[in-house]
Amino acid sequence: MLPSLVALTMQDLLAGGLFSLAALEDAAPVALQVPATSSGWKAWNRFRTLCDHHVRLCCALELTVDKTSEKELERWLAEPVRCVILSPSTFLLNRSGYPVLPKKAKALLEQLFRRQVQVIIAEPQSVEQNEGLLPRLSYIARLFQALPPLSQAERFAYSHMDTLQAPLQPLADNLESETYELFETDPVKYAKYQEAVFIFLTERKQEGRPMPFCVMVLGAGRGPLVEAALKAAERAEVEVDLYAVEKNPNAVQALRHRKRRDGWSSVQVVPGDMRSWDAPKKADVIISELLGSFGDNELSPECLDGAC
Ligand SMILES: C[S@@+](CC[C@H](N)C(=O)[O-])C[C@H]1O[C@@H](n2cnc3c(N)ncnc32)[C@H](O)[C@@H]1O
Ligand SMILES: *[C@@H]1O[C@H](CO)[C@@H](O)[C@H](O)[C@H]1NC(C)=O
């Protein structure tokens, strides 16, 4: 039977150089046992570089943290930590004489719990220390059970944590309705857009500019930014003419549906590409959300440059 994990210690490596990359070709992950200190991270980093960042290589972290800064400890959250090793000496006794983890170690372990690590409570070196095994075990169990529930955003992202994804290309491809639905679960974005548009419209009004103000939402999708802009106009008590430009024919259907259903009488849905759209007048404000998740994957400057 294959072991579920092959553990290597730094001593193994220093002693014999017995490790060969072939070990990584077996099915089991190989964990390098390292202390969570600064020098531990450097050793780990050198080793995994030598192993060419092999996906099966992971670390078994000894939680000895006393002099390591919090910033340095945070680095481990970006590493493939599979196990956390707690030796008796990692624990302190609290005022009632129970074993507890020092603050920094506790904080790191709580975050690592979210990454589904296995905890190894290391065997004590002496009989006296053995007494504390059960209290140590139940302390760690209680720590795990007392983790706060995931927030809505964390729950949403949980299955994608640390997973590389191909960036979307909304210009080249037409996005699916469910992708728009995902965008629309963002609890922050649309509120911030609404606030920004509200401030803009309020200032225009105070300057005494003639209404209605011309608002253009470029790349409107299924319309959440249109809704945000309309709400902002209502709050600012201004009249607007709103153009919702969208090149995805499926999203255009959704926009037309919303215009009817929600009585968006000041909204004109414009099917087509913003780069070639011949706008009937100049806009007071252009609203877009084409930033994408990685660099320029939505070609925002290219599209907006055309629109301008
Ligand atoms: C990231 S989505 C944002 C959609 C919507 N504003 C939202 O917040 O859910 C970008 C949208 O811009 C549209 N788009 C991208 N390039 C465009 C272009 N050149 N002309 C018109 N629409 C474009 C895409 O089809 C997509 O619907
Ligand atoms: C010490 O730890 C025990 C077990 O974790 C806990 O029940 C107790 O309240 C703690 N005492 C103090 C003074 O923090």
List, for residues 221-272, the tens digit of each pLDDT value: 999 999 999 999 999 999 999 999 999 999 999 999 999 999 999 999 999 9
The answer as to whether 299 is a domain residue is yes
Task: State the helix-helix crossing angle for 103-113 and 133-145, rounded to 10 degrees.
Answer: 60
Is residue 213 located within the same domain as residue 283? Answer: yes
Mutation to probe ligand 2, out of 91, 100, 103, 144 (largest number of atoms < 8 A from CB): 100
The number of the ligand nearest the C-alpha atom of 136 reads: 2
Question: What distance in Å separates the CA atoms of residue 219 and residue 274, rounded to the nearest whole number?
Answer: 8
Q: How confident is the model at residue 21 (pLDDT cuts 50, 70, 90)?
A: low
The answer as to whether 93 is a domain residue is yes
Q: Is the pLDDT of residue 161 over 90?
A: no
CA distances from 174 to 3, 92, 166, 246, 256 (A): 47, 58, 15, 10, 17
pLDDT of residue 128: 64
Mutation to probe ligand 2, out of 91, 92, 94 (largest number of atoms < 8 A from CB): 94
Percent of the chain that is helix, strand, coil (3-state, to 5):
45, 15, 40
Is residue 125 located within the same domain as residue 189? Answer: no
Comparing 121-130, 159-168, 247-256, 258-267, which segment has the lowest mean pLDDT? 121-130
Q: Is the pLDDT of residue 17 over 60?
A: no
Is residue 228 located within the same domain as residue 303? Answer: yes
User: Beta strands 92-93 and 99-100: pairing type?
Assistant: antiparallel
pLDDT of residue 129: 58
Ligand 2 pocket, residue 282 CB under 6 Å: no
Query: At which of 148, 169, 203 does a domain end?
Result: 148
Is residue 220 located within the same domain as residue 107? Answer: no
The answer as to whether 219 is a domain residue is yes
pLDDT of residue 46: 94
The answer as to whether 35 is a domain residue is yes
Q: Is the pLDDT of residue 6 over 50?
A: yes
Question: What distance in Å separates the CA atoms of residue 58 and residue 279, rounded to the nearest whole number?
Answer: 56
pLDDT of residue 55: 87
Q: Which residues are catalytic?
A: 289, 298
Is residue 200 located within the same domain as residue 126? Answer: no
The number of the ligand nearest the C-alpha atom of 139 reads: 2
The answer as to whether 156 is a domain residue is no
Nearest ligand 1 atom to alpha carbon 306: 19
pLDDT of residue 294: 73
State the average pLDDT for the chain. 88
The number of the ligand nearest the C-alpha atom of 93 reads: 2
Nearest ligand 1 atom to alpha carbon 184: 9
The CATH number of whichever domain residue 41 belongs to comes to: 3.20.20.150
Residue identifier of the C-alpha nearest atom 4 of ligand 1? 221
Is residue 210 located within the same domain as residue 139? Answer: no
Please answer whether residues 153 and 187 qualify as being in contact, where contact means their C-beta atoms are separated by less than 8 angstroms. yes
Please answer whether residues 32 and 54 qualify as being in contact, where contact means their C-beta atoms are separated by less than 8 angstroms. no
- The percent of residues in the chain predicted with pLDDT above 90, rounded, is 62
Is residue 187 located within the same domain as residue 290? Answer: yes
Q: Which residues form the domain of 22?
A: 6-148
Is residue 141 located within the same domain as residue 16? Answer: yes
Which stretch, 27-31, 86-90, 135-139, 195-199, has highest mean pLDDT? 195-199
Ligand 2 pocket, residue 281 CB under 6 Å: no
Is residue 136 located within the same domain as residue 202? Answer: no
Token pair in block for residue 216: 């253009």
| Number of domains forming the structure of the chain | 2
Is residue 141 located within the same domain as residue 32? Answer: yes
Q: Is the pLDDT of residue 302 over 50?
A: yes
Q: Is the pLDDT of residue 194 over 60?
A: yes
The answer as to whether 263 is a domain residue is yes
State if pTM tops 0.75: no
Is residue 143 located within the same domain as residue 212? Answer: no
Distance 8 CA to ligand 1 centre (A): 50
Residue identifier of the C-alpha nearest atom 4 of ligand 2? 98
The answer as to whether 247 is a domain residue is yes
The answer as to whether 153 is a domain residue is no
Distance 248 CA to ligand 1 centre (A): 8
Chain segment 52-96, per-residue pLDDT in tens: 999 889 999 999 877 888 889 999 999 999 999 998 889 999 999
The CATH number of whichever domain residue 285 belongs to comes to: 3.40.50.150
Is residue 126 located within the same domain as residue 81? Answer: yes
Distance 292 CA to ligand 1 centre (A): 10
Query: At which of 102, 127, 148 does a domain end?
Result: 148
